[in-house]
Amino acid sequence: MKSLNINNNGVAISVKSDDENVANYKRAIHPRPQLQRSPWQSLNGLWKFAFDDEGKYVQPSDLKQWTHLIEIPYAPESIKSGVGDTNFHANCWYEREFITPDGDGKLLLHFGAVDYRARVWVNDQYIAEHEGGHTNFSLDITHVLNDSGITKLTVWAQDEPQDLAKPRGKQDWQLKPHSIWYPRTSGIWQTVWVERVGKTYIGHLCWNSDFERWEVGLEAALAGDVPVCSVQIKMKLRIGDKVLAHDTYEVLSGEINRRIALGDPGIDDYRNELLWSPEKPTLIDAEIQLWSDNQLLDEVQSYTAMRTVSIQRDRFMLNGRPYYLRLVLDQGYWPDTLMTPPSDEALRRDVELIKAMGFNGVRKHQKIEDPRFLYWADVLGLLVWEEMPSAYRFTRKAVERMTHEWIEVIKRDSSHPCIVAWVPFNESWGVPNLVETEAHRNYVLAMYHLTKTLDPNRPVIGNDGWESTDTDILAIHDYDTKPQQLLRRYGPEMKLSDMLNHKRPGGRILTLDNYPHQGQPVMLTEFGGIAYAPEDEPNTNQAWGYERCWSISELEMKYAALLETVNSIELFSGFCYTQFTDTFQEANGLLYSDRTPKFPIEVIRAATLSGGGFCTPSRC
C-alpha cells in the first residue's frame, strides 16, 4: 500500500503500510469478552479523518481531501486521538483500508460504539446506519468484498453538539465545559474490529442463573443462513479443570433456550464455592460449539456465574443473604482520552483501586461503560449499577431514542454477573416536570416496567435521587456535608413519614403522590462531593465541588466523619459516595484524575469500612 502523508496539527505523519499500522495499534484484548471467537482483527490505529462542518458530503466519493489522521478508538476531541479539537463539529468522516482476513464464510464488521449516528460504506458501497452513541452494532460485509485482498472502510458520524433530545450523559452542550458537564466525545470511541464466521453462527448469548433450582440458563440466537437440517449445540461448563456440565441440545429453530443443572451440593459451605460475589468472584467458563451433520459450524468462548440479586423487605440481597452496598460514583472519564479508556490495563486498575479503597461496588454515572470494564468487574469482583446517559429534553423523539438505546444496553450487558441494578433515570433529568406532568411520570413508569420485563432478575431504580414513582430501591441524593445533619435527618430519632413528606434534600420531594414508600430499601446514593485541589495548581479557583477543603488533612477528616456517620445509620441498606476521581473541573474525587490517591489509600479504606455498615455478610 502507498504511503499517506498528512499534516496533523502542524506535525507531518506518514503511514507506510497497513501491516505496520495494525502491528503498532492492535489491541490484543478481545472487545466482546462474553462472545469470543478466534481469530479476530482489530481495526484500531491510524485512520484518515476530516470534519464536515457544512454537512455537504453525502457519500465517500464527495470527500476530496482528508485533513487529519486520527488514532482510533479515541474521539477527535481527545488529546490521544491526535486531533484534539474541542470546537463544535456536527459531522465527521473516517476512512482506512485493511487486509481482508483469509477464510471462507462471512466477514463481520463490529463497532463498539459511535456517538451518535453512524453510516458505513465498504468498498464505496453503502452498508447500513446505526443510531445510539453508547451501544455496539455489527454488519455482515461479505457481499461487498472484492478479489484484491484489500478492503476500504468509510464511516460518517454525526453528533450534534447542542442536541439535548438525545442520550448524552455528562457531555456538555456548551463550547467550554461548565458546572458538572465535561468535554464531548464524538464519533468512534470504542474498538472497531472484524472477524470471520461460518455461514451459520451464534449471533447473541444471554446467561442467567436460577438459585433455587441450581441451574444456569442460556438464551442464544443463531444468525446467518440457518440450515433446514438438524443443528446441535454442545456446551461445556467448567471452573478451572473441573467440568461442571457437558450438554448437547438439539436446536429446532433459530432460538435456543436451555437450562443446565449443575448438581446441587445442598450444603451452604459447598454451594458457596460456586457462588460469585465481590469477596469470591467465581466465574464459570463456557465452551460452546454449533454442529450440523458432523460439521462444526461455529465455536465460541464465554463465561457466566451463579449469582442472584433481589430485594427482601428493606434489604438488598446477594445470593440470598442481606448485603450492605458500599458504592463509589464513577464518571468514567480520563484527561487525555475522555470516555475511552487509555488501555485495558487502565480499566483493570480502576476496578482494583475501587476495591482497595474499601468499596464493593461502583455506580457508573451517566455512562454505558466499555464491556472490558464489565469484564474486569466480573473477574475481580465489583458490583456495578448501570445507568443510562440522560437526554435533557422531553420530546417524542427523545423518548424514542432513549427507549431504543436502553433496550440495546440491556441486551448487551445483562449477562454480566457484576451488574446488580439498572438505573434508567437520574435526578429527573429529561423529565423535568415529573411532579406535575402525567406524561413525564408515565415515561419513567414505562422505562421501569420495560426494564423489569427485559430483565426480571435485577432491581431497577426508576429515578435515582428523588421524585420516585415505581422503584425497587428508594435512592436519595443529599450533599449536606455536616454529619450531625445527616444523623438528624436519617438517624434513629427520624420518623420515616416525616422524612418522606418534609425532608427535601436538593429541594425535591422523595416520593411522588400515589407512589408511597412501600418498605423498599433506602440508600444514600449520592453524598459527599467534597472538593480539594492544591492552591498552587492553575485554575484552582475554578475547582468544583459541593464543599471545598483547603488541605489534605481537612479532606481526610471530613471523609472519615461522613463515612462513620453514614455507616452507622440503620435506615440505609447502602450508600454511594461522590466520587472516585477528579473529573475535569470537578475536584471532588478521592483520587486525582491520574488515579493518584489524595491521601493514603489504606486511610481511605479504613474510613470507607468504619462502623462495618449496618448490614454485612456476617451480621445484619
To which residue does cell 463550547 refer? Answer: 175
Q: Lowest-confidence range among 269-273, 286-290, 316-320, 449-453? A: 269-273
Mean pLDDT on 325-345: 98
Question: Looking at residue 501, what is its pLDDT?
Answer: 75
Question: Is the distance from CB of 528 to CB of 481 less than 8 angstroms?
Answer: yes
Cα gap 89→159, rounded to integer Å:
8
The predicted model scores a pTM of 0.92
Question: Looking at residue 228, what is its pLDDT?
Answer: 65
Does pLDDT of 19 surpass 70?
no
Does pLDDT of 85 surpass 70?
yes
Question: Looking at residue 4, what is its pLDDT?
Answer: 41
Question: Looking at residue 613, what is its pLDDT?
Answer: 57
Question: Between the CA of residue 148 and those of 60, 100, 144, 151, what are the distances in Å?
Answer: 19, 9, 12, 8
Q: Which of 316, 270, 283 is nearest to 617 (CA)?
A: 316
Return the HEC string of 518-533. CCCCEEEEEEECEEEC
Question: Looking at residue 73, what is its pLDDT?
Answer: 98
Peptide bond into 579 cis (omega under 30): yes
Cα gap 427→460, rounded to integer Å:
15
Residue-averaged pLDDT of the chain: 91
Question: Looking at residue 612, what is its pLDDT?
Answer: 61
Confidence of residue 503 (pLDDT cuts 50, 70, 90): low
Q: Which residues pair with 440 in a beta bridge?
A: none
Question: Looking at residue 614, what is its pLDDT?
Answer: 53
Question: Looking at residue 386, what is its pLDDT?
Answer: 98
Please give the domain boundaries of the chain with CATH numbers for all domains.
4-197 (2.60.120.260), 212-304 (2.60.40.10), 309-608 (3.20.20.80)
Confidence of residue 534 (pLDDT cuts 50, 70, 90): confident
Rounded to 5°, angle at Cα 557 from 554 and 561? 140
Question: Looking at residue 10, what is its pLDDT?
Answer: 35
pLDDT in tens, 573-608: 999 999 999 999 999 999 999 999 999 999 999 999
Nearby residues of 184 by Cβ (< 8 Å), 6 or more positions away: 75, 77, 86, 159, 161, 171, 172
Cα gap 345→334, rounded to integer Å:
13
Does pLDDT of 110 surpass 90?
yes
Higher local confidence (pLDDT), 163 or 263? 163
pLDDT in tens, 456-467: 999 999 999 999
Q: Lowest-confidence range among 13-27, 488-502, 524-538, 540-554? A: 13-27
Cα gap 613→179, rounded to integer Å:
32
Burial status of residue 594 (CB atoms within 10 A of its CB: 0-12, 13-18, 19 or more): exposed
Question: Is the distance from CB of 111 to CB of 31 less than 8 angstroms?
Answer: no
- Grid coordinates of 474: 428508594
Does pLDDT of 211 surpass 90?
no
Question: Looking at residue 67, what is its pLDDT?
Answer: 95
Mean pLDDT on 521-538: 89
Helices vs strands, H then E, count in the chain: 10, 33
pLDDT in tens, 273-308: 899 999 999 999 999 999 998 899 999 999 999 999
Question: Looking at residue 616, what is its pLDDT?
Answer: 46
Question: Looking at residue 617, what is its pLDDT?
Answer: 41
Mean pLDDT on 177-184: 94
Does pLDDT of 27 surpass 60?
no
pLDDT in tens, 111-156: 999 999 999 999 999 999 999 999 999 999 999 999 999 999 999 9
What percent of the chain clears pLDDT 70, i.e. is strictly above it? Answer: 93
Mean pLDDT on 407-415: 98
Does pLDDT of 403 surpass 90?
yes
- Grid coordinates of 586: 470537578
Mean pLDDT on 78-94: 97
CA 470 to chain centre: 23
Helix 344-356 to helix 601-608 angle, to the nearest 10 degrees? 60
